[in-house]
Amino acid sequence: MTEAGQAGQAQSSVSTVHRLRSVLAIRPFRRLWLVTYLCSVGDWLSLLALTGLVSTMMKSYEWQSFALPLVVLTQLLPGILFAPIGGVLADKFDRRKVMVVCDVLRGSLFISIALVGSPIWLFVANFLVGCCAMLWIPAKESAVPNLLRRPDQVESANQLGLVMTYGISTISGFGLYSLISGIPGYLNLQGGNLEFTVATIAVVINGLLYFTSAVLVATRLPELSGRISANRRKDEDKPGFIAMFREGLKFAGKTPLVRGLLIGMIGAFAAAGAVIGTAKLYALSLLGGASTFGLLFVAVFLGLAVGMATAPRLAQRLAYNRLFGVTIVLAGISLALVALAPHLWIALLTVALVGACAGVAFLTGLTIVGSQVQDDMRGRTVALIQTLLKVVLFGASGGAPLLLTLLQKRQISVFGHPMEVDASRPVMLGGAVIAIVLGLVAYRQMDDRREERVLSSLFAAIRGRRHTKGLLIAVEGDTREDTSVQARRLAAVLRAEGLDVLLAADPEHDERRLRTMLSSAELAGVRAQALVAAAVRADVVERQVRPALEEGSVVVMERYVDSPLAHFTATSSLEHQELEGLVDWATGRLRPDLTILLDRPVSDGKRLGPEHHWRVQRLLSEMAASDPDRYVVVEADGDADEVADRVRSAVVPLLATRKRAVPEAAV
């Protein structure tokens, strides 16, 4: 690997660590993460504990063989029936109270299983536990974005949640069950007259985990109740349950973003169900047995992990709305390659590719819901996804074996040579076709940049840069005096290095235009000023920045988005999320390749007072910490020449690699 590649890889890992740390630094989210851990450990522990308990209650060998399927089935069915109800509850009532009630009910039900000791009640109680989970999940998922500081942290929060649910908690749950299973040996207990079996002890501990979660949510997470905005309706003014349910369905049907998201999810879950239903016979078709079956599962989960890890990097270069549909189509194409794979090693590679695409799509879908779906509709949207997950996955995984039974093995002739085709392969091909078709439909519904070719954008995202030839450098800081001087000097330095440089949005001209536009709206308030500032930047981006980037130029622009965002957030009651959405719309989500943050100590002589400027500097520092691979923080204390030297020393080496890689950018 080249030095530049090693540096980029190290910088990417640092960026990921900083992003995750910045989310975990938020105390309410960190506490919710702990709650997620407790409940997820309870979910995995219950799977083993209830299966063990059923086996001890039922003496028949036939019933014991059905123990695990029956436990899974009674947990899966509630998703079909109760997930929509959970979405309405999450949007209508206090989400914290919904979560507390559900946790208390789940804990009580598990304790009752141990006390009653009846297999029939075990399945009934497990079904009710699944119902509570379907009410709990929408409330929790829809509340997460309200705990974060910025919309771009939703993806990192989802990453942490998935790692906790399917990684740390899985290991902890299985490990805890192994520890509990050894209790009789630790205590030297023997005989069959023990009051509680190992499985019963596990069930009781499981109930205590949910009680602990309820206490934490009730006492340590008041933020889960949600943010109350001026335009939010009071509880008594909200429509009834049925009306809210219809409103949620209407919203999903009429909103292209949500409609495309749901269509894409159907395709993804249908393909996943086809894989689950055919995996065993597919492993046999590769002339393998249990070991091959295990290797295929390892490959798909490794792919999922890689996909979830790389999704944020791809999303920096390809908009979420496009990335979602594209990855589902790629997952379908990969599944078709799996169906056609003649050898094990090819099957493992293609299965891992399916997992990677699915990981990117799943994380991207969750991020879209958290960052782009309005708060009062988020719970019902999460519930619809949960319902689709259960219904489609259940139907596809159950229907695949029926298709296998109908198709059987077939012998076909290829160029006069007989060939045996296992039934699992055409079923997988059918799942692949469904995923590709629905992925394309989802892409058409959600794509908001149809003037840009998706293939060029995708290849640029894989290469790690935008499809434009140029480079956008933003100079941000607390004061206009600093950014104006340093932007001009940086442009001069880069020109001296032989680069074609555009200094976009001359500060004085920009300021005159801004004052002129504000002259008739001086008394309109901060919202009008934010709209005017966004309009000026939208005009500059369309007229100057994008054309220059397409031609391969280096664009230097002062106070592009970060400084205005920080100032408006510090001086007004507007939420940062509102302002960032406005900026994204105005600039078409065009983000700088590199941002130079001028960090100057706050002095008492500032025009708006030291407290305001301290807030601005803090907000800018948080932005830089959340994505350090795109920021260079430069000490701005000292005279202009000293600061310019620091900027030059920091920026020019970073651009050297690009200058060699794109020589046509030089004049």
Domain ranges of the chain: 12-224, 240-467, 469-665
For CA atoms 154, 160, 162, 165, give the dihedral sign: negative
Q: From CA 49, how far away is CA 53, in angstroms rounded?
A: 6
Predicted local distance difference test score (pLDDT) of residue 63: 53
How far from 650 is each of 118, 490, 643, 647, CA to CA, in Å?
A: 70, 11, 11, 5
Q: From CA 13, how far away is CA 7, in angstroms rounded?
A: 10
Q: Domain 240-467 is of which CATH architecture?
A: Up-down Bundle (1.20)
- E strand or H helix that includes residue 557: strand 554-558
Predicted local distance difference test score (pLDDT) of residue 625: 66
Q: Does residue 245 surpass a pLDDT of 80?
A: no
Mean predicted confidence (pLDDT) in 261-282:
83
Q: What does the chain come to in residues?
A: 667
Q: From CA 507, how far away is CA 499, in angstroms rounded?
A: 22
Q: Does residue 630 surpass a pLDDT of 80?
A: no
336 contacts 271 by C-beta, under 8 angstroms: no
Supply the DSSP string of 187-211, one letter for each residue.
TT--SS--SS-HHHHHHHHHHHHHH
Say how far residue 457 (Cα) sits from the centre of its chain: 20
Q: From CA 422, how far away is CA 407, in angstroms rounded?
A: 9
380 contacts 90 by C-beta, under 8 angstroms: yes
Ranked by mean pLDDT, the top range of 141-155, 457-471, 502-516 is 141-155
Q: Does residue 31 surpass a pLDDT of 90?
A: yes
Q: From CA 17, how far away is CA 173, in angstroms rounded?
A: 26
Ranked by mean pLDDT, the top range of 36-40, 134-138, 358-362 is 36-40
Supply the DSSP string of 260-287, one letter for each residue.
HHHHHHHHHHHHHHHHHHHHHHHHHHTT
Mean predicted confidence (pLDDT) in 637-656:
80
Predicted local distance difference test score (pLDDT) of residue 268: 86
292 contacts 347 by C-beta, under 8 angstroms: no
| Spatial CB neighbours of 421, under 8 Å, sequence gap ≥ 6 | 409, 410, 411, 412
- E strand or H helix that includes residue 16: helix 3-24
Q: From CA 615, how far away is CA 623, in angstroms rounded?
A: 12
Token duo for residue 647? 């900027």
Residue 501's DSSP bridge partners are 554
Q: From CA 141, how far away is CA 129, in angstroms rounded?
A: 18
Between 220 and 156, the higher pLDDT residue? 220
Residue-wise pLDDT tens digits, 559-569? 888 888 887 77
Name the one residue in this structure whose structure tokens are 């109908």.
Answer: 406
Q: Are strands 594-599 and 631-635 parallel, antiparallel or unpaired?
A: parallel
- Could you check whether 12-224 and 240-467 share the same CATH topology? yes
Return the amino acid letter for 139. A
Q: Does residue 661 surpass a pLDDT of 60?
A: no
Left (φ > 0), alpha (ψ -120 to 50) or beta: where does 299 sit? alpha
Q: Does residue 524 surpass a pLDDT of 70?
A: no
Token duo for residue 340? 């056609």
| Spatial CB neighbours of 45, under 8 Å, sequence gap ≥ 6 | 173, 176, 177, 202, 205, 206, 209
Mean predicted confidence (pLDDT) in 232-251:
65
Predicted local distance difference test score (pLDDT) of residue 100: 95
Q: Does residue 610 surpass a pLDDT of 70?
A: no
Each residue of 247-269: b (16+ CB within 10 Å) or e?
bbeebbeebebbbbbbbbbbbbb
Predicted local distance difference test score (pLDDT) of residue 101: 95
CATH 3.40.50.300 fits 469-665, yes or no: yes
Q: From CA 418, how far away is CA 420, in angstroms rounded?
A: 7
Name the one residue in this structure whose structure tokens are 């599962």.
Answer: 297
Q: Is the pTM of this model over 0.75?
A: no
Q: From CA 150, how far away is CA 160, in angstroms rounded?
A: 16
Between 481 and 235, the higher pLDDT residue? 481
**Half-sphere exposure for 305 (CA within 13 Å, toward CB):** 12
Between 316 and 531, the higher pLDDT residue? 531
Q: Does residue 437 surpass a pLDDT of 90?
A: yes
Mean predicted confidence (pLDDT) in 161-184:
80
Q: Does residue 62 surpass a pLDDT of 80?
A: no
Token duo for residue 117? 């000791």
Mean predicted confidence (pLDDT) in 330-345:
89
Lowest-confidence pick of 9-13, 300-304, 462-466, 627-631? 9-13
Q: For domain 12-224, which CATH number applies: 3.50.50.60, 3.20.20.70, 1.20.1050.10, 1.20.1250.20?
A: 1.20.1250.20
Left (φ > 0), alpha (ψ -120 to 50) or beta: where does 144 sit? alpha
Say how far residue 555 (Cα) sits from the centre of its chain: 31
Q: Does residue 213 surpass a pLDDT of 90?
A: yes
631 phi and psi angles, rounded to 5 deg? -120, 145
Name the one residue in this structure whose structure tokens are 């009640």.
Answer: 121
Mean predicted confidence (pLDDT) in 45-63:
69
